[in-house]
């Protein structure tokens, strides 16, 4: 029997079976231990093989091959990484320019991770109803930068059905992921995309302008229009893992396009002479903040368990 993972809560998993039945299942011990480098060996969106268990009900025996997955460095210092979601057709990163403020470095880190796993990504700038003139100008500037790189950008208000109508049509029949910092309105957006969903939303901490975690585990919800949407926990930090520094530039589309023009084939775009990427930065063909975030990734200490520089 095969199943689709809807939710992981640590030891137990909520699984949708082929016959439409939802059951609770656990991982067989052998599967749990083999090559475990993550806090969660199975994630929402995974396809698995199941077998009837004994006293514990259903047991997950096999994780079927993944189309893709996206990970970040785990906050649990004893583990290596956390799988956020698997088999994603498209990721939607919800960002806010105020209440709370999403750091641009966080956006770029997320995009690097998505690029590395070949997951197309759309940026949803939420809470545009709070924008003043300066915010609107900033949003338009960011939209120009990221859309030129191939990332669609939209200004939305989660509670305004008109601003998210396009999204209902876009995700129909697909398995997509909604991610972003705590408090940016992910869960409100998911509720707005399907009237049959009534997920609990949180508040914004007035003291620090940060969101309070409401979604504890990534959870996949079936949409009445067809397809699934994975609502992930609010992420305050996005530490990259399982990526070699010499390949970071490959995950910046604007740098990837210029690599063949550098004098040295192994150019790291740092201090090397005749670097096409550095020349493009100086000529404003590459956004300064994108290059600065690339430099931060290149100079970051991957062994630092506290990820002081991770946004």
Looking at the structure, tell me whether residues 91 and 225 fall in a common domain.
Answer: yes
Q: Residue 23 sits in which domain range? A: 2-65
pTM: 0.87
Is residue 78 a part of any domain in this protein? Answer: no
Looking at the structure, tell me whether residues 14 and 53 fall in a common domain.
Answer: yes
Q: How many residues are recorded in the chain?
A: 311
Residues ≥6 apart with Cβ < 8 Å to 175 = 45, 87, 88, 89, 220, 227, 228, 230
Looking at the structure, tell me whether residues 219 and 269 fall in a common domain.
Answer: no
Looking at the structure, tell me whether residues 111 and 188 fall in a common domain.
Answer: yes
Q: Can you say whether residue 45 is alpha, beta or left, with left for phi > 0 and alpha for psi between -120 and 50 degrees? A: left
Looking at the structure, tell me whether residues 97 and 224 fall in a common domain.
Answer: yes
Looking at the structure, tell me whether residues 220 and 252 fall in a common domain.
Answer: no
Rounded CA-CA distance 181/117 in Å is 20
Residue 32 has what pLDDT?
A: 56
Looking at the structure, tell me whether residues 154 and 276 fall in a common domain.
Answer: no
Looking at the structure, tell me whether residues 103 and 213 fall in a common domain.
Answer: yes
Domain total for the chain?
Answer: 3
Rounded CA-CA distance 55/52 in Å is 10
Is residue 176 a part of any domain in this protein? Answer: yes
In a structure prediction context, what are the per-residue pLDDT tens digits for the chain, which is 311 residues long? 899 999 987 678 999 999 889 999 988 766 654 555 676 788 999 999 998 876 667 899 999 999 998 887 765 554 567 788 999 999 999 999 999 999 999 999 999 989 998 999 999 999 999 999 999 999 999 999 999 999 999 999 999 999 999 999 999 999 999 999 989 999 899 999 987 887 655 444 344 344 444 445 788 999 988 889 998 876 655 667 667 888 999 999 999 999 999 999 999 999 999 999 999 999 999 999 999 999 999 998 655 544 443 43
CATH number of the domain bearing residue 184: 3.40.50.300
CATH number of the domain bearing residue 265: 1.10.40.50
Is residue 70 a part of any domain in this protein? Answer: no
State the helix-helix crossing angle for 186-193 and 161-171, rounded to 10 degrees: 70
Token pair belonging to 107: 């956006």
CATH number of the domain bearing residue 49: 2.40.50.140
Looking at the structure, tell me whether residues 121 and 189 fall in a common domain.
Answer: yes
Is residue 190 a part of any domain in this protein? Answer: yes
Identify the domain boundary among 179, 203, 231: 231
Is residue 307 a part of any domain in this protein? Answer: no
Is residue 145 a part of any domain in this protein? Answer: yes
């Amino acid at each position: 029997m095969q199943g689709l993972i809807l939710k992981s809560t640590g030891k137990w998993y909520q699984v949708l079976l082929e016959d439409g039945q939802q059951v609770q299942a656990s991982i067989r011990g052998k599967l749990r231990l083999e090559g475990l480098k993550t806090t969660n060996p199975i994630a929402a969106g995974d396809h698995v093989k199941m077998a009837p268990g004994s006293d514990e009900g259903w047991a997950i025996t096999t994780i079927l091959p993944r189309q893709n997955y996206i990970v970040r460095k785990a906050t649990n210092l004893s583990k290596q990484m956390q799988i956020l979601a698997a088999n994603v057709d498209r990721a939607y990163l919800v960002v806010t320019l105020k209440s709370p403020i999403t750091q641009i470095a966080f956006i770029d880190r997320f995009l690097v991770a998505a690029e590395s796993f070949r997951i197309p990504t759309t940026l949803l700038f939420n809470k545009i109803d709070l924008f003043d003139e300066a915010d609107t100008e900033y949003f338009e500037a960011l939209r120009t930068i990221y859309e030129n790189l191939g990332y669609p950008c939209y200004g939305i208000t989660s509670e305004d059905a008109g601003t998210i109508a396009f999204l209902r049509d876009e995700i129909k029949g697909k398995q997509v992921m909604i991610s972003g910092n705590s408090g940016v309105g992910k869960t409100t957006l998911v509720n707005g995309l399907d009237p049959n969903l009534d997920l609990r939303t949180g508040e914004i901490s007035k003291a620090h302008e940060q969101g309070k975690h409401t979604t504890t585990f990534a959870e996949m919800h079936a949409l009445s229009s067809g397809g699934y949407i994975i609502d992930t926990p609010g992420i305050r930090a996005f530490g990259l893992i399982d990526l070699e520094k010499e390949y970071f530039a490959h995950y910046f589309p604007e740098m990837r396009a210029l690599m063949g023009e550098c004098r040295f084939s192994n150019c790291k775009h740092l201090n090397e002479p005749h670097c096409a990427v550095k020349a493009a930065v100086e000529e404003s063909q590459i956004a300064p903040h994108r290059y600065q975030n690339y430099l931060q990734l290149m100079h970051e200490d991957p062994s630092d368990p506290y990820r002081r520089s991770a946004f």
